[in-house]
Amino acid sequence: MKKIAILTCLKANDVCTGASCLEAFFKKEAFFNQYKKEDIKLVAFWTCNGCEEVLLNNQEGLNEKLERILSMKTEIVHIGVCTKIKDEHSKKEILCPKIEEIIRYLKDNNIKIIFGTHK
């Protein structure tokens, strides 16, 4: 059974219930379609700790979350579309720098990253 987590943006909680991510996961639709013939388990549905937080190595709470993700032997983390922000210069959507930092940590610990949850 594959152990999967979903990472979303803390600010998205202002307008998002997580329903679309969870529905896609449980119905094995959209970015979870690849698991149609596999047993999967959602081990975490978590957020970053916000944009105002300091760098990863100085975030005690976020480090606890990351240790928990590792201790559960999470294999794959799906990154929610809500983790993209509008770049002030190019006006294009880019990945939030805090999320990029989390992704680097996860990859360094052999966790596969997939960008996307629902359409």
Distance CA 73, CA 38 (A): 17
Q: What is the pLDDT of residue 106?
A: 98
Residue 11: Cβ within 10 Å count: 16
**pLDDT tens string 68-112:** 999 999 999 999 988 888 778 888 888 888 899 999 999 999 999
> What are the structural domains, with CATH classification, of the chain?
2-83+95-115 (3.40.50)
Does residue 113 carry a pLDDT above 80?
yes
- Amino acid of residue 78: H
Using an 8 Å Cβ cutoff, are 4 and 113 in contact? no
Q: Answer with the residue of higher pLDDT: 17 or 61.
A: 17
